[in-house]
Amino acid sequence: MTRLYLPPFVNAIRSLVAASHSLRQPRKHPDTSSPVIVVEKSADISLDGVPTAEFCAIHLQLLELFADLRGRVEEWGRNSGMGAEEVWETFVKLAVARFTCWFQHASRSTIEMETSVPPLDVLMAWHSFMLNPHAYQVFSKAARSDGAGNEGILWPELQRSISPDGEGGGSLRWKLSGRDVEAADRLGLHADMLGFLMETLEASKCDTLVDSLSELCRDSLGRETKLQKLLETYHELSQTGFAYRNLGLDFDLASAVQRQTVFALKMTRFGWHHSPFCAAAIEQARERYRCFFSLIPSLPAGENAVPTLDIDLVWHTHQLSPAEYANFSKAMTGGRFVNHNDTITEEVASSGSKNTGTRYREQFGEVYSICLSWYCQAARLAPDKRLSRADIEQIRDAIASERRRRKLDLASCRCNETVVLTGLFGAGGVGECAPPVDTCGSGCGGGGGGECAAPNASCDGNCGGCGGCGG
């Protein structure tokens, strides 16, 4: 067993798992007393085939780390005079190049993908690739004949690299273990790419990041072999627009990373994993995800099932275990593989969200577009009671504490501003705000769409015409 840090709310998750799975079942406020839980080292997807609440919680932490990485890269770009946007765009492409090296060459060393955690930027690229499961399936089979990439992220191993920043503000710190640093070194990768860039390019006078790296590589007279290897891979991928056409796949991973970091920023600014009521919210999201997925087989051809943000979190977490996700997808749809395409338009997503909401209510008799503010999370724990003044003050204090650390988009209840004064959350019915709007997190999961991939060898010919949508 490994003792792992998680936010205080996660200590309540196990008791919630054992509780009733009825969406209408009132739940008690979670115990937030301890920041430490014990996760089995061999932890797997739960018995119902849906990612565990612990995995979803760790995923939220990972998204925060991605968002913070982007912020640090852009800040460095501004301070260096190269520009935040240019530096971030180049950094993403370098991350894709480093991921390609890591994924394709790990099998040639003593590195085991299932137990080794890659550098954060490499993990960011891998994460984005797996959220396009059909493209990732094609790439993984072509690049790794041993099937190592099918297991995806091993959450307990990943958690070893996440800890509090030590300043007491709730922020997270990413630090690879000594073993993982050595593993990156054996693959010719810098363990901390941003740290390396900031340290070695401090005195650079070049206008772009790539020019600065090229100048450094020339000045090093071949001594910086890691950098030389990185630039070679970077230029090779740049010539093909970052598509893996040599592997039979036309996919722009750099653009996918850009899209998914926008999603990471959105989820982080909602602050769910810092909410005192997040344990219950995650459990409800897991239940809703399974209901959502069960709608997909009955959809008419061409119609997308569009998730809400909470459902999208669980869906994304599931896709980060590709083999488990494929098995679940086929079991739920009669043998078909449900793809997740994150490039659909806002218009398609909006229309699909309304249709999905109608079907969800008809099938399960439950509200689909629920408010995900901290106030409404608390109210749904006991839907037959109004929040007390003490409850409201506690939530306000928690929101204020989190806002001192970062901007929040989703903590206060915006679906009905008067409820904060009255405590009458859920005025439109049990767990329903009156009326829910996008600013309270009730909208669709974002600009992504899913459908069963076209039948071909990569998906065993078991693909059909169903759909889904996500961020």
pLDDT at 259: 94
pLDDT at 301: 82
Q: Could you tell me the two tokens for 196?
A: 């390396």
Q: What CA–CA distance (Å, rounded) separates 117 from 107?
A: 14
Whether residue 447 contacts residue 346, with contact meaning beta carbons closer than 8 Å, is answered with: yes
* Strand ranges for 116-210 from DSSP E: 162-164, 172-174
pLDDT at 440: 54
Q: What's the pTM value of the predicted model, to 2 decimals?
A: 0.82
pLDDT at 77: 92
Which residue, 102, 74, 106, 101, is CA-closest to 90?
Answer: 74
Whether residue 29 contacts residue 181, with contact meaning beta carbons closer than 8 Å, is answered with: no
pLDDT at 48: 79
Angle of helix 225-239 relative to helix 84-105, nearest 10 degrees?
Answer: 100
pLDDT at 11: 41
Residues 6+ apart with CB under 8 A from 300: none
Whether residue 273 contacts residue 171, with contact meaning beta carbons closer than 8 Å, is answered with: no
Q: Could you tell me the two tokens for 126?
A: 């891998």
φ, ψ of residue 461 in degrees (nearest 5): 70, 10
Which parts of the chain register pLDDT below 50? 1-43, 416-418, 420-421, 425-437, 446-447, 452-470
